A = this chain, B = another copy of it.
Amino acid sequence: MEIASELQQSNFASEEAKAIVNVIFTGNWVAYEQQELLKPYDLSMQQYNVLRILRGQNGKPMTVLAIIERMLDRTSNASRLVDKLVEKKWVLRRECPNDRRAVDVLILPEGLALLQQLDEVQHQWSKRFSHMKQHDLVKLNELLDLLRN
C-alpha cells in the first residue's frame, strides 16, 4: 500500500518529505512486527538486538560500550538492557580484567539456544517478504545507505 493512502495523506510537499515519512513509518511498522514476534519469548527488540550482537562475537566478551556502538537504537540504556538479560540468565556480566571500569558481557548457552529458536521464527516470518525480488532488496539497501549519506 502506498504510504499516501496508508496515512490518508494525499499532498506530500515533495518526494523527499514523503521518503522521510515513509522511512520512519516503515521502520516503525517492521519494528512493531518484530515486537509481536518476540512477545511470546519475553524479549524486547532491544534485548534481542543485544543478544544477537553478543552472538556475533563468537564467544568473545564485549563491553557495554562496544555493544552500544552496534545497537540499532543507540539511545536505549544498554546497561539496563544487560541487567534484564542477566536476570533472565541469558548473558553473564563480569568485571573486565584489563579495565576495571568496564564490564565484560558474554552470551550464555541458554541465550544461544533462545536465539536459535528465534532464528526459525524469523525465518518463517521473513516469508512475508517473498514478494521482494533479490534485486529489489539490494536496491532498497543501497538507497537506505545512500539516504544516511
- Which residues from chain A sit less than 8 Å from chain B, CB to CB? 1-3, 6-9, 11, 14-32, 34, 56, 69-70, 72-73, 75, 122, 126, 128-129, 131-132, 134, 136-141, 143-149
What separation, in Å, do the CA atoms of A126 and B124 have in the docked complex? 38
Contact of A136 among B21, B34, B146 (CB under 8 A): B146
Q: Which of A14, A25, A141 has the most CB of B within 10 A?
A: A141
- Chain B residue with minimal CB distance to A22? B144
Q: Sorted from nearest, which 7 A-B pairs have the closest CB atoms?
A: A27-B27, A15-B137, A140-B143, A26-B144, A22-B144, A19-B137, A25-B72
Count of chain copies = 2
Q: How far is the CB of A26 from chain B (nearest CB, A)?
A: 5
